[in-house]
Chain A
Amino acid sequence: MGAIRFDNVGRIYGTKQDGFEALKGVNLDIADREFMAVVGPSGCGKTTCLRFVAGFDQPTSGIVSVDGVQVTKPGPDRAVVFQQFALMPWKTVCENIELGLRNKGVPKAERIKKVNDILALMSLTSYADAFPHQLSGGMQQRVSIARAYVLDPEVLLMDEPFGALDAQTRVVMQEELVRLARRNPRTVMFITHAVEEAVYLADRVAIMARQPGRVKEIIDIRSVREAERWDDHEKIEDVMDLESFVHLRTQIWRSLRQEKAMEIA
């Protein structure tokens, strides 16, 4: 269970009369175990939407709910993967991953087992006692993903998780995330700038527009992926070569470009 619903959500900064309207009438339903990517130009409020679900921020109108319950504060049922990793620099990889389990009151033996399992799954075992600064960006983000996954959350919120990584690392991480998501599906809200990334990873892609920020269009990827059997291809570049992939990517690009054109005009 972990269905996310945005019901006519708005966010105004400043006063109601002459404030800045960042989001207006955002409606979005993310089904349980669905992977939803959100793309849009900078300043369209996509990160703000994610922060509502996380409970870091509150909308000024409308309701954001998970499984029908309005979100009011952060919690481990909605794990967040931050763009800048946000690992505690004074804790080792192991301690960082363990913190959430300790907070939940999981007994020590079970904690150790869970941490070791996720370390193995994310190929981090030999780095268990390293400090974050001793790891590359890609490794740090792996730890951050492990920290979120180990909690077995209903909902996984990812705010441009690969935005700070170099292109090669990014591809590896995308492939790994697909592997992880297929093996242990969760409701995922995934914010990104990168259209290819969205098409490759998501079941559906929500395209946002700005001024004020709103959901403009939702594109279904899953039906195409299943019909065209993308999952038969192991490598990301093989999928990206498929005609069906290129078609969807172009469709989203076009929709985003319309936004830009309107802005200039």
Chain B
Amino acid sequence: MSRKAAVGSATIVAALALWFFATTMTQMISPGRFPSPADTWVAFKQITGVGYANGVLIDHVVRSVVLVTLGFLVAICTGVPLGLLMGWSRKAEALINPVFLVIRPIPPLAWIPLAILWLGLGDMAKILVIWFAAFVPSVINAYTGVRNLDKPLIEAAQMLGTPFSTFVREILLPGASPMIFTGLRLSLQASWTTLVAAELVGAMTGLGRVLNAAQQDLFPGMILVGMIVVTLCGWVMTAALGVIERRALSWNTATRAGD
């Protein structure tokens, strides 16, 4: 593990050195196309100090994180139950699946114009678009999780006289949870992708707004800062989800380690 970590950090150091070499040292890449480390640092100081595009960095980060979290929560709170329902009940599946099949192939970003038309340039439109994007993976994976439940486990629960509410809480949910978490991870990724795109189109603050403004100002350093911060935010949220997943599925990760 430490060897792996050493190789990983060596790669990162090499990449940074190459970046410095290609920009500042030799000017192989012109500063107008890609910022040097120094340009990036200047941009970073600017956005954390005096601010950029209607706010300092923390404003943009908070804005984007709040929107992603809201959209993501709305999506999973609707998507997971719907997926569980479709997985469990053939009737519900027959009823809902046709609608789902029609809506599913629509690229989430294609909803942006309609969302803006309905709800304007405000937060609601962005949450709506995130919902469309993050909803689908939640539904599909919760559905698959239920369908892949071991049949004898269901029969064992029936034989033990398990009432339906207990069955949902103690058999269906935990049994489907490895797949549900896969869905949540995909939903979270989709939420970030969609948010940045939605903010590019129209927003007062937010990381997508920073990127858009920097592009219009021909400010490569700020573009790179925006990209790095978006990546870090996404990474932190995915890691947090991973911690929750490992806690919730301790019985399951232990299985994998044991095999």
Question: Which residues from chain A sit less than 8 Å from chain B, CB to CB?
Answer: 54-56, 73-76, 78-80, 82, 84, 86-91, 99-100, 102-104, 131, 133-134, 147, 151
Q: How far is B116's CA from A9's CA once the two chains are assembled, in angstroms?
A: 65
Q: Chain B interface: which size bin?
A: 20 to 34
**Which of A74, A82, A88, A134 has a CB less than 8 Å from the CB of B158?**
A74
Residues of A within 8 A of B155 (CB): 54, 56, 74, 80, 82, 86
Mostly helix, strand, loop or mixed at chain B's interface? helix
User: Which has the most chain B C-beta neighbours within 10 Å: A78, A84, A99?
Assistant: A99
**Nearest-Cβ distance from residue A102 to partner chain B, whole angstroms:** 8
**Which of B156, B161, B174 has a CB less than 8 Å from the CB of A104?**
B161
Residues of B within 8 A of A90 (CB): 174-175, 177, 251-252
Whether the Cβ atoms of A103 and B160 lie closer than 8 Å is: yes
Given contacts A54-B159, A74-B155, contact A131 B171 (CB under 8 A): no
**Nearest-Cβ distance from residue B159 to partner chain A, whole angstroms:** 5
Whether the Cβ atoms of B152 and A84 lie closer than 8 Å is: yes
B27 within 8 A of A: no
**Nearest-Cβ distance from residue B153 to partner chain A, whole angstroms:** 6
Contact with A along B216-259 (1 / 0, CB 8 A): 00000000000000000000000000000000000110110010
Q: Select from chain A the residue with minimum beta-carbon distance to B163.
A: A103
Whether the Cβ atoms of A131 and B152 lie closer than 8 Å is: no
Closest 10 CB pairs of A and B: A86-B152, A100-B160, A74-B158, A86-B156, A76-B161, A90-B174, A103-B161, A90-B251, A74-B159, A133-B255
Contact with A along B132-172 (1 / 0, CB 8 A): 00000000000000000010110111111111001000110
Whether the Cβ atoms of A89 and B252 lie closer than 8 Å is: yes
**Nearest-Cβ distance from residue B175 to partner chain A, whole angstroms:** 8
Mostly helix, strand, loop or mixed at chain A's interface? loop
Given contacts A100-B160, A131-B251, contact A86 B150 (CB under 8 A): yes
Residues of B within 8 A of A79 (CB): 159
A-B contact pairs, 21 of them (CB 8 A): A56-B158, A73-B158, A74-B158, A78-B159, A82-B156, A86-B155, A89-B252, A89-B255, A90-B175, A90-B177, A90-B252, A91-B170, A99-B170, A100-B160, A103-B163, A104-B161, A131-B251, A131-B254, A133-B258, A134-B258, A151-B160
Whether the Cβ atoms of A88 and B255 lie closer than 8 Å is: no
Q: How far is B161's CA from A76's CA once the two chains are assembled, in angstroms?
A: 6
Q: How far is B152's CA from A56's CA once the two chains are assembled, in angstroms?
A: 10
Whether the Cβ atoms of B156 and A80 lie closer than 8 Å is: yes
User: Which has the most chain B C-beta neighbours within 10 Å: A82, A84, A90?
Assistant: A90
**Nearest-Cβ distance from residue B157 to partner chain A, whole angstroms:** 8
Residues of A within 8 A of B254 (CB): 131, 133-134
Q: Select from chain A the residue with minimum beta-carbon distance to B249.
A: A90
Whether the Cβ atoms of A80 and B251 lie closer than 8 Å is: no
Whether the Cβ atoms of B251 and A75 lie closer than 8 Å is: no
Residues of B within 8 A of A100 (CB): 160-161
Residues of A within 8 A of B157 (CB): 88, 99
Residues of A within 8 A of B158 (CB): 55-56, 73-74
Q: How far is B150's CA from A225's CA once the two chains are assembled, in angstroms?
A: 40
Whether the Cβ atoms of A103 and B150 lie closer than 8 Å is: no
Residues of B within 8 A of A84 (CB): 152
Whether the Cβ atoms of A76 and B174 lie closer than 8 Å is: no
Residues of B within 8 A of A131 (CB): 251, 254
Residues of A within 8 A of B170 (CB): 88, 91, 99
**Nearest-Cβ distance from residue B21 to partner chain A, whole angstroms:** 51
Q: How far is B88's CA from A131's CA once the two chains are assembled, in angstroms?
A: 26
**Nearest-Cβ distance from residue B118 to partner chain A, whole angstroms:** 42
**Nearest-Cβ distance from residue B120 to partner chain A, whole angstroms:** 45
